[in-house]
Amino acid sequence: MKETAALPAAASGVWVFAEQRAGIVQPISHELLARGRRLADARGAPLTSVLLGPAGDDGLREMIRRGADRVLHVADPALQDFLPEPYSAVTAHLVRERRPDIFIAGATTTGRTLMPLLAVLCHAGLTADCTQLEIDPATGELLQIRPAIGGNIMATIRTPLCRPQMATVRPRSMKPAPPDPGRAGEIERLTVPPELLRSRVRRVAFEPADDEGGGIQKAEVVVAAGRGLKKGANFDLVRRLARALNAGVGASRDAVDRGWIGYPHQVGLSGKTISPRLYFCAGISGSVQHLAGIKTAEHIIAVNLNPDAQIFKVADYGVVADLFELLPLLTEKLEARKKSARAPGTEGSG
């Protein structure tokens, strides 16, 4: 792996915007590289990752190992924390200088703030919250695919006239590619004009959200419920089962809109996209919007009284049953199993 001078503008190809927090490259950066690698390969173009702010050498090299051909790194201390003005000014400067054809970012708080500003500064179009990105083999244009009309149709959007073609994609909507220790790539450590780093906003402090649903995007197991619970008090059934499975608690938009549980628990197009090892849901019909949030789950188990519920079309295992009977029974079995495993003399059994 080597550090090199700038590549010519013609080689700019496909760019992804990487994110760091406290100098640590965030997982969304690796997810974007998996998407970007497919797009770059389809166009026969290089893939570049752009990172602003501090990051260790291993974090930069990890992006090479996960698909980047080149990493552009601007490590100025003024970029340590995300601030809209310097981030958009620096990124626009790089875009004008290198002229990428495609630029994608995550639909995170950072990406959703940065990319609209960048689109204005660069006079480019932007499609937000895409669930799929493809290259048109006939034209080489980026096909930006996302739900529209309340999720009832999938719209394919093109940007034929303006460059770069820009899109944001939802976190957890694609798994990162495994690292390849043998991949070679280039790391460019850049400086930018100091006037680009000015900001009228100053970060004073940061307080993380204090909510029990904040971790469902990282949870290996998620237990969720929807309108079939009938009332908010019945979420205790879900929480008890989640505790027995060491799982996070999720919910459909319908359950959140009814005030049964907070928005941080919402799974779906207007909530969180999750990718757990197991997604267990009860009383959720399976709208298009909800399914968009769970499509990368490894295993889906669904419980619903309606044998024709949409959720059964994507579930690995479907149970037509009354959740008010099944959930307590399942929870009791799991709690009894955990209690037995903790009992003296049972270590290593079953």
Exposure of 68 by Cβ count < 10 A (0-12 exposed, 13-18 middle, 19+ buried)? buried
Question: What's 267's DSSP letter?
Answer: B
What pLDDT, on the 0 to 100 scale, is given for residue 345?
A: 59
pLDDT per residue as tens digits for the range 66-84: 999 999 999 999 999 999 9
Predicted confidence (pLDDT) per residue in 4-60, tens digit:
334 334 347 999 999 999 899 999 999 999 999 999 999 999 999 999 999 999 999
60, 190 contact by CB (below 8 A): no
Contact indicator for 78, 86 with CB cutoff of 8 Å: yes
**What average pLDDT score do residues 193-221 get?**
79
Residue 216 has pLDDT above 50, yes or no: yes
How far separated are the first and last CA of the chain, in Å rounded?
48
* pLDDT at residue 349, as a whole number: 46
**pLDDT exceeds 60 at position 212:** no
Q: What is the pLDDT of residues 260-274, one digit of tens each?
A: 998 889 998 778 888
Residue 283 DSSP SS3: coil
The pLDDT value recorded for residue 59 is 93
Angle at 237 between CA 232 and CA 240, to 5 degrees: 125
Tokens, residue 167: 């899109």
pLDDT at 11: 42
Output the pLDDT for position 346.
Answer: 53
Mean pLDDT of 316-327: 93
pTM (2 decimals)? 0.71
Contact, 72 vs 190, CB < 8 A?
yes
Q: How does strand 47-52 pair with strand 14-17?
A: parallel
Give me the pLDDT at residue 209, please. 59
12 in Cβ contact with 49 (< 8 Å): no
pLDDT digits (tens, 9 = 90+) for 46-58: 999 999 999 999 9
Strand partners, 188: 72
Q: Tell me what the pLDDT averaged over the chain comes to.
A: 87
Structural domains in the chain, sorted by start: 2-197 (3.40.50.620), 221-342 (3.40.50.1220)
pLDDT at 7: 37
Q: Which of 181, 138, 143, 132 is nearest to 34 (CA)?
A: 132
Residue 347 is predicted with a pLDDT of: 52
pLDDT tens digit sequence for 141-181: 999 988 776 556 778 888 888 899 999 998 877 888 899 99
Instruction: Provide the pLDDT confidence category of residue 309 given band limits of 50, 70 and 90.
Output: very high
State mean pLDDT over 304-308.
93
φ/ψ (deg, to 5) at 180: -115, 105
